Amino acid sequence: MTTSRGTRRADVQNVRLGQAPVAREDMLAVEEPLEIRLEWTEQDRLRVEPISVTMRTPGQDLELAAGFLLSEGVLRAKEDVERIGYCTEVTEQHYNVVAVRLAPGVRFDHERLRRNFYTTSSCGVCGKVSLEALQIQECPILPKGRPAVTPEVMARLPDQLRKAQPGFAKTGGLHAAGLFDAEGTLLYAFEDVGRHNAVDKLTGHALLTGRLPLSEHILAVSGRSSFEIMQKALMAGIAVVVAVGAPSTLAVDVARQFGMTLAGFTRTDGFNLYADAERVTGHRVSDRVSDRVSEKPT
């Protein structure tokens, strides 16, 4: 088995009923652990603590770490980061460990961050607690009417995102997150074996390049929309999320509570609109219709 950072070649047996197996090569998406360490100064002493381990596809690891810390409320802007890089021990480079050093004066809720390391919405935390956590992080209600997006633009985003997925074309095993402007122009896209990681890479890139908040942009994701996807979009100031798949109930709750527009089952001929129809222009969509669709998605 040969290896590159994001994909691997593997020898496989291709089996078809009624035919002899055929030996061939296949491309696999790489999945490896990434540890994120946080460094900060407390009482004139440097503290270093591992705060997360995620299974991800190698590549854009620094962006992934920054995006994760943005979603957890530790980082707010590029200026909050004093240094970010791979950890070095002696002379060896450990590419599966990224350390983020906070700039002097940056404050964060250390205990909440530690709790989130052990308890996430994917392992049982209830919806009420998740929504309260966003309120504690002082997430704002996003401004209404911005950006204004036509239904035609929203419907074509998944196809545009698919064209920007070279890893998926090779392996069929990678998710993607793409950032678009209100006219539907793709600005950049990131792939990862994890849906949440792809969004972290996107928002982390925006943070490290000083582009936050992304209030005039649209996030398109290749899979379904979950609480975590909506949380990460909200923390980056993204008001419009377009997903290929279905939303969870909690994703819809987040969208409605914080004034986000959420579309799911998005195809070239349309989509289901689950929250905040006011940003969708040139088409008469009522909030009542949006509510009804979210209860009974097609």
What is the tens place of the pLDDT at every residue in 153-178? 999 999 999 999 998 888 888 999 99
Total Cβ atoms within 10 A of residue 90: 4
Q: What is the mean pLDDT of the segment spanning 243-259?
A: 94
118 has pLDDT over 80:
no
Residue from 227, 219, 235 nearest 76 by CA: 235
Residue bearing tokens 């440097």: 46
pLDDT of residue 152: 96
Distance of alpha carbon 114 from alpha carbon 117, whole angstroms: 5
**Active site includes 139?**
no
What is the tens place of the pLDDT at every residue in 27-72? 898 999 999 999 999 888 999 999 889 999 999 999 999 999 999 9
- Type of residue at 268: T
What is the tens place of the pLDDT at every residue in 2-28? 345 788 898 888 889 999 988 988 889
Q: What is the mean pLDDT of the segment spanning 196-211?
A: 97
pLDDT of residue 108: 87
Lowest mean pLDDT among 29-38, 109-118, 159-168, 283-292: 283-292
Does the pTM of the predicted model rise above 0.75? yes
> Which domains, ranges and CATH numbers included, belong to the chain?
32-130 (3.10.20.10), 151-295 (3.40.140.10)
pLDDT of residue 5: 77
pLDDT of residue 236: 96
298 has pLDDT over 70:
no
The catalytic position among 87, 123, 126, 139 is: 123
